[in-house]
Structure 1
Amino acid sequence: MSKAGTIRTGIGGWTFEPWEGTFYPDKLPKRRQLEHASSHLAAIEVNGTYYGSQKPATFAKWASEVPDGFIFSLKASRFVTNRKVLAEAGESVAKFLTQGLTELGDHLGPILWQFAPTKKFEPDDFSAFLELLPEKQDGITLQHVVEVRNPSFQVPEFIELLARHKVAVVCADHHDYPMLPDVTADFVYCRLQKGEDDIETCYPQKDVEAWSKRLETYAKGGVPHDLSLIAPERKIEKKARDVFAFFISGGKVNAPRGAQLLQSMV
């Protein structure tokens, strides 16, 4: 298969003081930081939407400051995911999706629904939650991805459930949380969280190279041979897939350099 999806690498947010004078030029006004970041990166994962709603005008402003092809991933509201019974989150899901995020237009990328490490897999309740996620909002097709951080989710039943709903699962490279590298949607979403501040490129060069090969494999419709699948017997359609990879959390000081290096390799 020669065709491949688009690979976009990025970082979490664009406001971080240690990036001033390093990633950002000296004396660059804060109001131009998004413009600068989006001209050097392909995607940004927005964390602020996890804590509170934004105004439609804010999303429209973000969209106006980035180039064609740039993508925002939005972390969904904590009021949806931080609850005991997910099936009761319908009102909160609707509130999040109707706050004006579709003002991003073509710049709207995956919506990340992140769950606490203490949240365990309860098949019926999680299935009910997935039923709450609409395929479209204001005529725009939505891409949903979940990040689960409890080992109880490392079962084929969970992977099959996501695949039925065409919802992706985060492939998390983390010291403590489980990795779920299975493909369950028409895109792949990786969060690279093992970076270190004393490594100039966030991850060591050899690790960045390893991830570049994995991302290319995903983009061409395959699954990396060096990652252990949760449901290895499951058949997946071999087709081009868009891939997102964010340098998040660990090594944040040098996350932009890591993302730029990885982007240059794919």
Structure 2
Amino acid sequence: MAVARVGTSGWLYPPWRGVFYPKKLPHRRELEYLSGRLATVEINGTFYSLQRPDSFRRWHDETPDGFTFAVKGPRFVTHMKKLADVETPLANFFASGVLALAEKTGPLLWQLPPSLGFRPERLAAFFARLPRSSDEAAWLARRHDDRMTGRALLVNDTDRPLHHALEVRHGSFQTPAFGELLREHVISLVVADTAGRWPKMFDVTADLVYVRLHGDAELYTSGYSETALDEWANRIRGWLADGHDVQVHFDNDVKVHAPFDALALAGRLRA
């Protein structure tokens, strides 16, 4: 049976304290609190810098059985290198502790910058480098460079499949050739709701449908109305009925809408 998981993009937001998080809740317990109410969360810190194995182990241990983490790939790969010549940066990323998430490893998210258009050859080469299992990730991690010496995790507990999702932000991706390329490499297209700023595409290209809800009226700021949540719930039910797992992350965090919208959508899907 296909499964839908609903959560947020990140969890360490000061404005959430005393609004979503109870007053006086220690900051170190915020992930524990969120994971007791939602099914998944995106790790955003991996986008900005390489983390450490102890951090991944702690996140794993602070969350309940059945909880999963989507892991955002580093901007060094997507925004600075623009997917080219990235074998060593990918090795460093997978050596940084991702394998410690073990059975709680969710999809890996790769978000492209608005400046990067559809370049099929570059995309295909990048997709070919991505590990499709935790064993492949461990093999790749062993090819890290010297900056990871003494802080790398290079083994996993058992082999598991890895799923990848790509979020794009350039109009040139709105071509059938893009969907065909994603299907060929079994990469999920991220359905991104960005208040009209970047393309919103609904092409299903893999078994997993990945949805990021950044705000439908104002980017990162606006909450979703009851009507909008009903529409997303109906759309998700359709994907589930077709046998697709669905991953949904709310990124409208600025005014603390994200966790409450996630709870409201999850409640609709349970009804």
Is the TM value for this pair above 0.5? Answer: yes
Q: Is 1:93–2:100 an aligned residue pair?
A: no
Which residue pairs with 1:115 in the alignment?
A: 112
Q: Is 1:50–2:47 an aligned residue pair?
A: yes
User: What amino acid is aligned across from residue 160 of structure 2 in structure 1?
Assistant: I
Give the 4+ runs in structure 1 shifted more than 4 A.
none
Q: Is 1:140–2:137 an aligned residue pair?
A: no
* Alignment partner of 1:220 out of 223, 241, 250: 241
- The answer on whether the counterparts of 2:193 and 2:213 sit within 8 Å (CA) in structure 1 is yes
Measured in 2, the distance between the counterparts of 1:254 and 1:86 equals: 32
Displacement of 1:166 in angstroms is 0.6
User: What amino acid is aligned across from residue 156 of structure 1 in structure 2?
Assistant: P
Which residue pairs with 1:230 in the alignment?
A: none
Displacement of 1:105 in angstroms is 1.0
Q: Deviations over 1:67-88 (max 9, x none)?
A: 1111111110111112466241
Q: Is 1:31–2:28 an aligned residue pair?
A: yes
- The answer on whether the counterparts of 2:6 and 2:40 sit within 8 Å (CA) in structure 1 is yes
Displacement of 1:250 in angstroms is 6.0
Which residue pairs with 2:189 in the alignment?
A: 169
- The answer on whether the counterparts of 1:192 and 1:245 sit within 8 Å (CA) in structure 2 is yes
Which residue pairs with 1:203 in the alignment?
A: 224
Measured in 2, the distance between the counterparts of 1:243 and 1:125 equals: 27
- The answer on whether the counterparts of 2:222 and 2:255 sit within 8 Å (CA) in structure 1 is no
User: What amino acid is aligned across from residue 100 of structure 2 in structure 1?
Assistant: E
Q: 1:32 to 1:82 in 2, by over 3 A?
A: same
Which residue pairs with 2:215 in the alignment?
A: 194
Which residue pairs with 1:153 in the alignment?
A: 173
SS in 2 for 1:82: helix
Of 251-260 and 106-115, deviating more is 251-260
Measured in 1, the distance between the counterparts of 2:190 and 2:235 equals: 14
Measured in 2, the distance between the counterparts of 1:202 and 1:71 equals: 24
* Alignment partner of 1:183 out of 192, 204, 220: 204
Q: Deviations over 1:166-216 (max 9, x none)?
A: 11010011121001211111101001112579xx99200000000001111
Q: Among all aligned residue pairs of Structure 1 and Structure 2, give the percentage whose two residues are the same amino acid.
A: 41
TM-score by length of 1: 0.87
Displacement of 1:39 in angstroms is 0.4
Aligned residues: 243
Displacement of 1:100 in angstroms is 1.4
Measured in 1, the distance between the counterparts of 2:232 and 2:34 equals: 22
- The answer on whether the counterparts of 1:19 and 1:253 sit within 8 Å (CA) in structure 2 is yes
- The answer on whether the counterparts of 1:194 and 1:250 sit within 8 Å (CA) in structure 2 is no
- The answer on whether the counterparts of 1:201 and 1:257 sit within 8 Å (CA) in structure 2 is no
Unaligned runs of 5+ in 1: 222-239
Measured in 2, the distance between the counterparts of 1:201 and 1:179 equals: 17
SS in 2 for 1:40: coil
Q: 1:13 to 1:252 in 2, by over 3 A?
A: farther
- The answer on whether the counterparts of 1:195 and 1:251 sit within 8 Å (CA) in structure 2 is no
Measured in 1, the distance between the counterparts of 2:253 and 2:55 equals: 28
Which residue pairs with 2:145 in the alignment?
A: none
User: What amino acid is aligned across from residue 263 of structure 1 in structure 2?
Assistant: A
Q: Is 1:253–2:256 an aligned residue pair?
A: yes
Q: Deviations over 1:54-79 (max 9, x none)?
A: 11111111011111111111110111
- The answer on whether the counterparts of 2:191 and 2:210 sit within 8 Å (CA) in structure 1 is yes
